[in-house]
Amino acid sequence: MDLRTDLGQMWHMVHVVLFNKPFGVLSQFTDARSPSPRPTLSTFIDMPGVYPAGRLDRDSEGLLVLTDDGKLQARIADPKHKLTKTYLVQVEGTPTDHDLQALRDGVTLKDGPTRPAKARLVDPPALWERDPPVRFRKSVPDTWVEITISEGRNRQVRRMTAHIGFPTLRLVRWRVGDWSLDGLETGKWKIAGTV
């Protein structure tokens, strides 16, 4: 291979970046709307040319996948590709397996029925401390649920748990497709590889 071929191949390498988004951070690099600055991805990620594939709400935490390839970005974000996303969800109250069956069957939200989800009760995960901490009510217990969906509507998981009577207190996206947060501390990012 000559130098031009090598450079051409380097130019077309696709980067995938995994970021563990803290609570309160916007899933974008700039914040033009707010008169007082809010933390954005630029506070944490100094790699030029990558953009988020999908969103994670400001009050949600966890895995955000970024890439410099528009086609891959669309494939990750577009619900028609049915890429699964797994969340660790702390809910108010104590849902039973029967309660979670409604999520497995699919619930009907204001914007229509959801696809069937995977949902199971899990032990409290060993996560980082959230800043600010979740507000608890001493009289109401809380429970952790692992929920996997294959679509990504606005605030969907929160709306699903509220629909079955268990409001979400804390939401952490743990996995997107084959990518996960394993070993990635909050506020940190890493290159997952090149394609």
Q: Would you please indicate which residues are annotated as catalytic (active-site) residues?
A: 57
Tokens 């268990």, located at residue = 166
- The kind and range of the H/E element at 72 are helix 70-77
Question: Does residue 132 have a cis bond before it (omega within 30 degrees)?
Answer: yes
C-alpha radius of gyration, the chain, whole number:
18
Integer Cα distance of 166 and 99 in angstroms? 9
Integer Cα distance of 148 and 103 in angstroms? 10
Beta bridge partner(s), residue 18: 65, 190
